Amino acid sequence: MKKLILILSCVVVFSCSNNDDSSNCNFLFNTGVNLVVNTNLPQFAQLQFNDNRVFVSGYGNNGIWLYRANSSTLYAWDAADPSHEPLSCSTLTYSGIGDIVTCGCDDGNEYSLATGYGFEGNTQPCTLQPYRVESTGNNTYVVLN
């Protein structure tokens, strides 16, 4: 009996971890996304060129940002600020500078569409929620989660 108690105690002690990370970056829902992007169509034509972005509403939490990093890389990010709960002001909008998108709420968090990382001064160290992008050929991509 003592061995059983000792073994169970060891399992409990070693399976617990000390997580000092108190940030809460779990505000966004894991929504189903299945978006077909054809860069030959006018609404996605900007994505044929590097360093361009397109916002697509109606998908994800508050829409999706698509970003063409280079000729072989297309990123898809949820357009909701991951640092707080989805609100009408938390949809990320283009800042007009490079690849930076900004939250419209009072915190004004900023994120890079090229990396998904937030900038110093954001309220929490959250990153943008990524979506998987698969090329199906002929300038067509499928965005999934």
The pLDDT score that the predictor gives to residue 84 is 86
Name 23's bridge partners.
Answer: none
Do β-strands 73-78 and 64-70 pair in parallel, antiparallel, or remain unpaired? antiparallel
pLDDT score at 25: 84
What are 62-86's pLDDT values in tens digits?
Answer: 999 999 999 999 999 999 999 988 8
| pTM (two decimals) | 0.82
Q: What is the pLDDT of residues 13-60, one digit of tens each?
A: 455 544 444 346 888 988 899 999 999 999 999 999 999 999 999 999
142 in Cβ contact with 35 (< 8 Å): yes
Q: What is the pLDDT of residues 75-124, one digit of tens each?
A: 999 999 999 888 889 999 999 999 999 999 999 999 999 999 999 889 89
Strands 100-102 and 93-94: antiparallel
Phi, psi of 79 (to 5 degrees): -90, 10
Q: How far is CA 87 from the centre of its chain?
A: 16
